[in-house]
Chain A
Amino acid sequence: MSAAELIAALAAAVPGAAFEALESADADVTPVILVPVEHLLATARALRETPGLEFHAFSDVTAVDFHPRREPRFDVVYHLVSPHRRARVRLKVRVALDQPVPSVTAVWPGAGWTEREVYDLFGIVFEGHGELRRLLMPDDWDGHPLRKDYPVQLRKDAGTFMPLQVTEEEFRANMERDRTARPRSKDAHG
């Protein structure tokens, strides 16, 4: 089923949505449809429930950051599969920084962790997600590492684990205290 046929099938179920078929290198296997963000949830429901589409299986959601080349900077990319029809589709949603995306967890519960991963690594907020917290990075991490403006060579310690660190003065004081507290006799070594 090509992207044009999918859009035609979706048009009846999601009135008023301006879908766009996008070019991609693998369009023969996976047609790509650009979905307006306000119609994402309705489109997801239609893809799952419309007879003849039946994308029952959730495959993946991820994001791509095009900063600073493009505005709006994020693409949120959904991969869906219809196992018995042997069909795939890729949905894309374009969002700007701090623009929320509706969560599709109500349609496919399997989207839960992958949306958390996108939130964790890109900082994209999914509205209606029951438990939107970090998945891979520590809970107290600053920033979202897969954004293009996140520095690559940043040296940073996670707040949850801090190795014991002392200043040079403290180190010398400790040495001195050890030396005076437990004087080592020359006889001890024979």
Chain B
Amino acid sequence: MTVNMGPQHPSTHGVLRLVLELDGETVVSVSPTIGFLHTGIEKTAEQKKWQQVIPLVERMDYLGPQSNSLAFCLSAERLLGLEVPQRVKDIRVLIAELQRLSSHLVWFGTHTMEIGAITGMLYAFREREILMNLNEHLAGFRFFPSYIRVGGLREDIPRGWLEAVRAFLDRLPGKLDEYETLITKNPIWLDRTRGVGVISLEDCYQWGLYGPIARAAGGDYDVRRAFPYMGYETYDFDVIGASNGDVYDRYLVRMAEMRESVKICRQALERIPPIGEWAVNDRRITPPPKDEVYTEMEALIQHFLIYSQGFTVPAGDAYVPVEGPRGEHGCYVVSDGSNRPWRVHMRSPGLMACQALHKFIVGGMIADVIAVIGSLDVVMGDVDR
């Protein structure tokens, strides 16, 4: 029997269409169709100035937007030869880890809800709401803050934000314990997830799957460790691994990763001085302070140049990988030396996961398809771009 699942199906995380060939309840083959959410962001980005690309790339992986903008900014800064101040690096690490928490909370909520534990969703979204409020406090925008910019940050962190983050970090571990008492040893959960959707480490790598999926299959590849950026080599955290490569191990890995993220956030909080630099001191990139714009001719000229023409980036190409919530993110940027990028390409972890879907579900039951898609944590905005 052929079953058409999606594109509008509550558990396909957006608009993923699966044509499943079934024998009884066993999946014989699957053919995924994507592209329903293709918005041509890579083409649009070629028409924009460098700083204007950031809101666009944030809309690709909409559950981890600041991981996209971080990848883009790191690549652009590589081309510019910029080294951002230490304070900016620490704030970016804090933001990236809060972003990972936010994304993993949505994953936890939707994944548990799809398997039948609706409570998980209600709990996880309660904590995520605080993260959204933190974003709003930080940048005035809950979902896509566009706060990380080429050359640093948009502006200094607002008063009281660090305290709010600290209060959230004090709250979260207790809530994670609460989630785990609810789910981790729940017999129904174990039955639905153990031994389901198994993949080997070799398959993960040759199908381009990194991140929590590969680490749940016994891998230890984490971009933060293997190719450190933003000073991750100076942070104390564990790369979480498991060995079975099934849905349950992916669950365990992501849950433990959230605790590691809390650990990294706390260390970053210790390092961020309350006042200091929030962008590079380079007048080509960063607009001069307003009091100088009002009083000095050169500053006024710079102000107009940056807001009308942007800045130029030396010709060349760069790709800086970052560890996003779903695995290796990275932005391949090519510049021709002008004020607009020649090419912007985002590596999509979700695309690889959708491609390899048959490795997880063929031979399994149709009900397990839901569990597997949830455990892969695909975001269709990231897949289709």
Q: How far is the CA of A81 from the CA of B75 in the complex (A)?
A: 18
Contact in complex: B208, A110 (CB < 8 Å): yes
Contact in complex: B205, A56 (CB < 8 Å): yes
Asked if B248 lies at the interface with its beta carbon under 8 angstroms from chain A, I say: no
Within 8 A of B (CB), among A64-117: 64-66, 69, 77, 79, 81, 83-84, 86, 88, 90, 108-114, 117
Contacting pair A77 B332 (CB below 8 A): yes
With A83-B219, A90-B319: A59-B34 Cβ-Cβ less than 8 Å: no
Taking a contact as CB atoms under 8 Å apart, the answer to whether B355 and A152 are in contact is: no
Task: Tell me whether B207 and A110 are in contact (CB under 8 A).
Answer: yes
Q: How many residues in A have their beta carbons less than 8 Å from beta carbons of B?
A: 42
Chain A residues lying within 8 Å of B43, measured Cβ to Cβ, are 145-146, 150, 152
Task: Give the segment of A19-27, A162-170, A172-180 that binds chain B.
Answer: A19-27
Rounded to whole angstroms, the CA-CA distance of A57 and B221 in the bound complex is: 11
Q: Is there an interface contact between B207 and A109, defined as CB atoms closer than 8 Å?
A: yes
Are A137 and B35 in contact (CB-based, < 8 A)? yes
B351 interface contact, C-beta 8 A: yes
Residue contact A79 to B34, C-beta cutoff 8 Å: no
B275 at the interface (CB under 8 A from A): no
A37 at the interface (CB under 8 A from B): no
Given the complex, which residues of B lie within 8 Å of A111, measured CB to CB?
Answer: 208
Partner of B81, one of A25, A69, A83, A146: A25
- Our count of residue pairs bridging A and B at CB distance below 8 angstroms stands at 115
Q: Are B227 and A88 in contact (CB under 8 A)?
A: yes
Known contacts A83-B226, A108-B208; decide if A60 and B347 are in contact (CB<8 Å).
Answer: yes
A14 within 8 A of B: no
Say whether B181 faces chain A, with CB atoms less than 8 Å apart: no
A94 to chain B, nearest CB (A): 13
Nearest chain B CB to A77 CB, angstrom units: 7
Interface residues in B323-382 (C-beta closer than 8 Å to A): 328, 330, 332, 334, 336, 342-343, 345, 347, 351-352, 354-356
CB B279 to nearest CB in A, in angstroms, measures 20
Are B317 and A24 in contact (CB-based, < 8 A)?
yes
Q: How many Å lie between the Cα of A24 and that of B81 in the bound state?
A: 11
CB distance from B63 to the nearest CB of A (A): 20
B316 touches A57 (CB 8 A): no
Give Cα A59 to B322, complex, Å.
13
Main secondary structure of the interface of B (DSSP, over half): mixed
Please report the C-alpha to C-alpha distance between residue A105 and residue B321 in the assembled complex, in whole angstroms: 23
Given the known A-B contacts A59-B208, A60-B332, are A146 and B319 also in contact in the complex, defined by CB atoms under 8 Å?
no
B230 CB–A CB distance under 8 Å: no
A79 to B336 Cα, complex, angstroms:
21
A62 at the interface (CB under 8 A from B): yes
Q: Does A43 contact B (CB under 8 A)?
A: no
B17 to chain A, nearest CB (A): 13
Q: Which of the four size classes fits the interface of chain B?
A: 35 or more
B2 CB–A CB distance under 8 Å: no
The answer to whether A59 and B206 touch across the interface, beta carbons within 8 angstroms, is no
Contacts of B356 in A (CB 8 A): 110
Q: Which of A26, A59, A109 contacts B78, CB < 8 Å? A: A26
Cβ of A57: which chain B residues have Cβ within 8 Å of it? 205-206, 208, 210, 221
Residue of A nearest to B47 (CB): A152
B93 within 8 A of partner (CB): no
Chain B residues with CB under 8 A of A135: 34-35
Please give the distance in Å from A54's CB to the nearest CB on chain B.
10
Residue of A at shortest CB range from B31?
Answer: A131
Chain A residue nearest to B317 (CB atoms) is A24
Q: Is B198 an interface residue (CB 8 A)?
A: no
Q: Chain A's nearest CB lies how many Å from the CB of B36?
A: 9
Chain A residue with the shortest CB-CB distance to B79 = A25
CB-CB under 8 A from A88, the residues of chain B are 227, 321
Q: Which residues does chain B contribute within 8 Å of A69, judged by CB atoms?
A: 336
B221 surroundings in chain A (CB, below 8 A): 57, 81, 83-84
B342 touches A64 (CB 8 A): yes
Expressed in whole angstroms, the Cα–Cα distance for A51 and B135 within the complex equals 47
**For residue B328, which residue of chain A has the nearest CB?**
A59
Other than the given A25-B318, A26-B319, A59-B347, 19 more pairs (CB < 8 A) read A23-B316, A24-B316, A29-B320, A29-B321, A56-B206, A57-B205, A59-B208, A60-B332, A64-B317, A64-B342, A81-B205, A81-B210, A81-B328, A83-B226, A88-B321, A113-B355, A137-B35, A146-B42, A146-B43
What is the interface of chain B, defined by CB distance below 8 A to chain A? Answer: 34-35, 38, 40, 42-43, 47, 75, 78-79, 81, 202, 205-210, 214, 219-221, 226-227, 314, 316-321, 328, 330, 332, 334, 336, 342-343, 345, 347, 351-352, 354-356, 384-385
The 10 A-B pairs at the shortest CB distance, nearest first, are namely A110-B208, A83-B221, A57-B205, A110-B207, A113-B355, A136-B38, A136-B35, A25-B318, A86-B226, A26-B318
What are 17 residue pairs bridging A and B, where the CB atoms are less than 8 Å apart in the complex? A25-B78, A25-B314, A25-B317, A26-B318, A56-B206, A57-B210, A59-B321, A62-B345, A79-B319, A81-B210, A83-B210, A88-B321, A110-B206, A111-B208, A113-B352, A113-B355, A136-B34
